[in-house]
Amino acid sequence: MTDKKISTIDLVNKNLKKRYRAEKRFQAYGILSICFGLMCLVFLFTDIISKGTRGFFYHYLPIEIHLDAEILGITDTNDINQILAADYSTLVKKRVYEIFEAKKRKEKKNARKLIAIDATGYRIQALLKTNAAALLGTTITVNALVDDKVDFYLKRLGEKGDPGTEYFNEAQLLLIGQLLEREEGGITKSLNKTFFTSGDSAQSEEAGILSAFMGSLYLLLVTFCLSFPIGIATAVYLEEYAPKNKWTDLIEININNLAAVPSIIFGLLGLAVFLAFFGFPRSTPLVGGFVLTLMTLPTIIISSRAAIKAVPPSIREAAYGIGASKMQVTIHHVIPLAMPGMLTGTIIGLAQALGESAPLLMIGMAAFIPDIPTSVTDPSTVLPMQIFQWFRNADAGFSEKASAAILVLIIFLVMMNALAVWARSRLERRW
């Protein structure tokens, strides 16, 4: 009988092993999920960075070019219209033919295919615009842009299957080879400044991110300036002042539901209300900001209310106890203590707004915008829209630009988050 009787501690020990196993398994699930997440992240980032950084660089061919006033057709260096209308293409073409020693029609055609004639022309134009009188008639060195297909090919030299060779014929490939073998004055790869300083363009070598970047910046500015104060005022009123009745319940339910409405609906609303009814200018960050404000408000309100609720009641009591009025309690104590939480909600909302494209499509922010917007009422596009448009473009140079634009978008986002973290730590240091 005695050996059949199992003591409690033995039973516990027996079960203990099982418990430990379960514990280990439980932990393993967590670690596995984290590993999976990290793997995805690493994969995503290596892919984006490896492809995206290519878009930041471009191949140039430094050429010496004589700025012949006769070919350009400029008679008066003070006349800006003459400088704008001058025939730069002919000038560049002539010089390119000389460099490649192209005399026959076919040779000329091959040579033209290697250099971005128009884009190089713009560069010379830009130089002349600043100082025509001094430069005209002199010989200058210009970094001529290679054609976007050449750039594509050069960036992938040595890769499996020689991507890009299909764009060229034998003679052209030979010319590229010659360029590469040159000791001096050959093709160089350097940072593509145009990408950061210009707007969209039909030519991929001329296309830049700045107009979309500024568009996104203005859009976020409008969104922040509207949604932050409105969201916080709403949250404070609902939490601190509003009586608890059916109406406030209804408002609360509606706010929570709004947070789950598909964003394109907000775009439709913007189209119907802001554009059709109020007649605000189409494609502008102002209207985009209005629409995204509607979209981010629920996020900000919900998180701000949670932050206000989390303020310990003892602090309120303390303030009331020495005779602070309701407004003083709210402004001196509740809002400062809830501010980090409110900021977190705002940043989440703004990050969402930054990546949003569907509602902006509805109000015409998907337009082709070569000019850099200088105010919130200038037509503009935004980074996600720009990326989408570039990816859609069949031209080889554009998909690379799109990858680079994604990197810009991510950097933008990281910077925004860093700003929020900094602001939070500042506020928390003040207790």
Partner 1 sequence: MNVQEAIVENNTITDVNDIKETVGIPLVENAKMSMRDVDVFYGEKQAIFGVNLDIGVNEVIAMIGPSGCGKSTFLRCLNRMNDTIEICKVNGQLHLEGQNIYDPKLDVVPLRARVGMVFQKPNPFPKSIYDNVAYGPRIHGLAARRADMDEIVETSLRKAGLWEEVKDRLHQPGTGLSGGQQQRLCIARTIAVSPEVILMDEPCSALDPIATAKIEELIDELSENFTIAIVTHSMQQAARVSHRTAYFHLGKLVEVNETEKVFTNPDHSLTEAYITGRFG
Residues at the site binding partner 1, with contacts judged by CB under 8 A: 244, 312, 314-325, 328, 332-333, 337, 431
Q: Which is nearer to partner 1, 279 or 323 (CB)?
A: 323
Work out the number of other CB atoms within 10 angstroms of the CB of residue 343.
22
Q: Which is nearer to partner 1, 220 or 308 (CB)?
A: 308
Q: Which is nearer to partner 1, 331 or 414 (CB)?
A: 331
Helix axes 170-181, 105-114, angle to 10 degrees: 60
Cβ proximity of 6 and 13 under 8 Å: no
To partner 1, the closest distance from the beta carbon of 346 in angstroms equals 21
To partner 1, the closest distance from the beta carbon of 359 in angstroms equals 39
Give the C-alpha distances (Å, rounded to integers) separating 254 from 22, 66, 239, 260, 261.
43, 69, 16, 10, 11
42-66: b or e for each residue (b if 16 or more CB lie within 10 Å)? eeeeeebeebbebbbbbbbbebebe
To partner 1, the closest distance from the beta carbon of 119 in angstroms equals 59
To partner 1, the closest distance from the beta carbon of 331 in angstroms equals 11
Q: Which is nearer to partner 1, 423 or 427 (CB)?
A: 427
Kindly write down the DSSP assignment for every residue of 248-294, as one continuous string. Answer: HHHHHHHHHHHTTS-HHHHHHHHIIIIIIIS-PPTT-HHHHHHHHHH
The tokens describing 258, both together, are 């709004």
Please state, in angstroms and rounded to a whole number, the distance separating the CA atoms of residues 79 and 86.
11
Residues 6+ apart with CB under 8 A from 266: 291, 292, 294, 295, 359
Q: Which is nearer to partner 1, 279 or 321 (CB)?
A: 321
To partner 1, the closest distance from the beta carbon of 244 in angstroms equals 7
Q: Which is nearer to partner 1, 93 or 316 (CB)?
A: 316
Helix axes 88-99, 105-114, angle to 10 degrees: 110
To partner 1, the closest distance from the beta carbon of 47 in angstroms equals 45
To partner 1, the closest distance from the beta carbon of 430 in angstroms equals 8
Work out the number of other CB atoms within 10 angstroms of the CB of residue 13.
10
In the block, tokens 């009988």 appear at 1
The tokens describing 207, both together, are 């296309």
Kindly write down the DSSP assignment for every residue of 146-163, as one continuous string. Answer: BPHHHHHHHHTTTSTT-T
Q: Which is nearer to partner 1, 158 or 323 (CB)?
A: 323
Q: Which is nearer to partner 1, 109 or 332 (CB)?
A: 332
Q: Which is nearer to partner 1, 136 or 324 (CB)?
A: 324
To partner 1, the closest distance from the beta carbon of 17 in angstroms equals 43
To partner 1, the closest distance from the beta carbon of 322 in angstroms equals 4
The two counts, helices (H) then strands (E), for the chain are 19, 3
Please state, in angstroms and rounded to a whole number, the distance separating the CA atoms of residues 312 and 155.
59
